[in-house]
Amino acid sequence: MPSVGTLVDALGTTTLALASDAAGRDLAVTQTVLHEPGHPVAPATRGLLLGVALGPDGSGLDAVVEEAAAGGYAAVALKRRGRGVEAAVRAADAAGIALLVVDDAVEWLHLDRMVTTALSGSRAGADVALSSVAIGDLFSLAHVIATTTGGATTIEDLGRRVLAYSAVPGQETDEERREGILGRQVPDLPENDQQYADLYRAAGVLEYPATDTGLGRIAVAVRSGTEPLGSVWVVVPSTGLRPDAARVLASVTELAALHLLRNRSSQDAARQRRTDLVRRLLEHDDPTAARQLGLTDPGRLCVVAVHPRSSAASVDLGRLLDVVTVELEARLGPTGCVDVAGRLYALVALADTPERMRTSVAAAARSAGRALHTSLVCGISRPLRDAWRVSEAREEADGVLDLLLTGAAPGEVGSADTLVDGLRLLALADQHPVTAELSETAAAILRHDEEQGTTHAQLLLTWLQCQGDTRQVAERLGIHANTVRYRLGRLESVHGLDRTDADQLLLVWLALRLHRSAV
């Protein structure tokens, strides 16, 4: 039967540590209960009570511990949140139950899933000899699976990032696996989306036949309860896998889930600490935070701003943050990704060239967008300047993002080094918010569009961008060339536009362009 000690060993002391008497390791645990502060503790034989809150001075646990002990609980778990737990330890020891301290960065629901999975894994008795594999050691887990099934193995997260892979001598592999290992990311192939969708819907192991370019695979989704965590893939060599390979792979899913949860928990804790430091940098230009992050060269960093092309209300911000973080880290290394007022910001290391930087961010945005069923727009700042003036880089990334979202610049990903003129126009728009100050003609056109529902401003801006090429304007706007000529004539007759007056056209264009940037 699993015990408190089993859970501590499985989840790791950085996640869950025993603070009370060591004898508590031997107490049996069979279930978890999430505690709601202010409500009575429901009885639970051999239970672990999660979510217990300390008072501001570290006190207030005595009554909860007594209730838990009376209700048959084996242990109580709490978070320090900067407070001492000495009084709580004494209360637990007196009641004969274990007191466990949880890392502040670990969410209670995530811990509940980890403990539940650990308890299931302890009872499952998987066929594969995994007892010697430390929980969280994904490379050893991949090695054991590969040895037992007879095929090279990779373990992936939900972002299709290769977390670990086997290295058993003599096992056959292919170029797709080699590419995924080298880049630590599954290659972006046309069939991937459908294959992964099928895998995460399936209840067991799926088989994928060999193709002209690669070997076959068997794969299984790894879940904690109903929540998908990742997947395990085994290459089918030309000589075939061992006869019971599919059964073996199916049997390790619960233990693999514990490994992935443990791995994610340690990653989440480190990521949360990094995120907190990045937020301090973004909002306060805090050099102390930079030192704690281990950053020494601001010239090798930039800020990336991310926002959905569609309404942000239709996208879960927490999910967006998780997926974007994973995708950026897979391509650019460790990053801190935070959300500020519904917009995401990441402090990332520059790629070797600006073009490579844009390509990497674009690939991350596409992959994250597919996972979230939306289109993501990204603005990239120039390298940090003036030591740790991160807030300036954030404003620059914001400006690029605004240009893309308003259509003032084309595409889904843009960088400040290629959109300098657009950023200067944004700055001008801030200085000249009243269009009429620059051009009464432009102001009249905009009023007419607003009152009558016309699109004369868009037509005129497009005509100016196309340098008067009527056919090109018609193609861009999807209307007939004669319609373009008619509407331009209306602009001249109604608003007094003179297409031969270069000075007037300059001011009209500038006013309309600034207005669009400011919207």
Q: Of the residues 365, 387, 419, which one is the last residue of a structural domain? A: 419
Domain tally, the chain: 4
Q: Any idea which of 73-77, 267-271, 290-294, 438-442 has the lowest mean pLDDT? A: 267-271
Cβ-based burial of 209 (10 A; exposed 0-12, middle 13-18, buried ≥19): exposed
- Helix, strand, or coil (residue 307): strand
CA distance 353 to 359: 10
pLDDT the model gives residue 433: 55
Question: What is the pLDDT confidence band of residue 127, given thresholds at 50, 70 and 90?
Answer: very low
Say if residue 137 is in the same domain as residue 94: no
In a domain, 196, yes or no: yes
Task: Note whether 337 and 368 are same-domain residues.
Answer: yes
Closest CA to 121 of 13, 27, 260, 237: 260
Question: In terms of domains, do 74 and 194 share one?
Answer: no
Q: Which of 228, 262, 296 is the last residue of a domain?
A: 262
| Alpha carbon distances (Å) from 3 to 23, 31, 296, 426 | 11, 11, 45, 62
Which CATH number fits the domain that encloses residue 395? Answer: 3.30.70.270
pLDDT higher than 80, residue 442: yes
**CATH assignment at residue 235:** 3.30.450.40
Residues 351 and 226 in one domain: no
Q: Is residue 16 part of a domain?
A: yes
For the ranges 255-264, 430-439, 458-467, the one whose mean pLDDT is highest: 458-467
Q: Determine the Cα–Cα distance for residues 481 and 484; give it in Å rounded to an integer.
A: 5
CATH assignment of the domain containing 50: 3.40.1390.20
pLDDT tier for residue 314 given thresholds of 50, 70 and 90? low
In a domain, 270, yes or no: no
Which pLDDT tens digit goes with each residue over 370-381?
A: 877 888 999 999
CATH number of the structural domain spanning residue 473? 1.10.10.2840
Is residue 202 located within the same domain as residue 83? no
Banded pLDDT at 149 (limits 50, 70, 90): very high
141 in the same domain as 64: no
Tens digits of per-residue pLDDT, 181-212?
Answer: 877 788 888 888 889 989 999 989 999 999 88
Q: How far apart are CA 32 and CA 402, in angstroms?
A: 47
Query: Tell me: the pLDDT tens digits for 389-441?
Result: 888 889 899 989 988 887 767 789 999 988 887 777 777 666 655 455 667 88
Q: Is residue 272 domain-resident?
A: no
Does 383 reside within a domain?
yes
Q: What is the predicted pLDDT for the residue at 202?
A: 92
CA distance 402 to 408: 8
Exposure letters 58-93 (e unless 16+ CB within 10 A, then b): bebbeebbebbbebebbbbbbbeeebebebbbebbb
Per-residue pLDDT band at 235 (split at 50, 70, 90): very high
- Both 131 and 166 in one domain: the answer is yes
Is residue 273 in some structural domain? no
Residues 46 and 102 both lie in one domain:
yes
What share of the chain has pLDDT > 90, as a percent? 22
The mean of the pLDDT values for the chain is: 83
Q: What is the pLDDT of residue 122?
A: 56
116 with 16, same domain: the answer is yes
413 and 443 housed in the same domain? no
- Residue 268 — pLDDT band, cuts 50, 70, 90? low
Report the side by side order of strands in the sheet with 47-52.
Answer: 16-18, 98-102, 75-79, 47-52, 31-34
Among 142-151, 152-161, 293-302, the least confident range: 293-302
Same domain assignment for residues 332 and 366: yes
For the ranges 273-282, 347-356, 409-418, the lowest mean pLDDT is seen at 273-282
Helix (H) or strand (E) holding 64: helix 62-70
Least confident of 37-51, 311-325, 373-387: 311-325
Residue 277 lies in a domain: no
More confident residue, 319 or 115: 115
- Structural domain boundaries enclosing 453: 432-518
Provide mean pLDDT across the span 337-365. Answer: 86
Q: What does the pLDDT read at residue 40?
A: 82
For the ranges 185-189, 201-205, 233-237, 257-261, the one whose mean pLDDT is highest: 233-237
Q: What is the mean pLDDT of residues 31-39?
A: 83
Shared domain for 69 and 86, answered yes or no, is: yes
Cα angle 398, 403, 409; round to 5: 140
* Domain endpoint, select from 95, 123, 151: 123
User: Dihedral sign, CA of 195, 200, 202, 205?
Assistant: positive
C-beta separation of 54 from 85 below 8 A: yes
With 70 as the cut, is the pLDDT of residue 215 above it? yes
The β-bridge relationship of strands 31-34 and 376-380 is unpaired
- Higher-pLDDT residue of 435 and 299 is 299
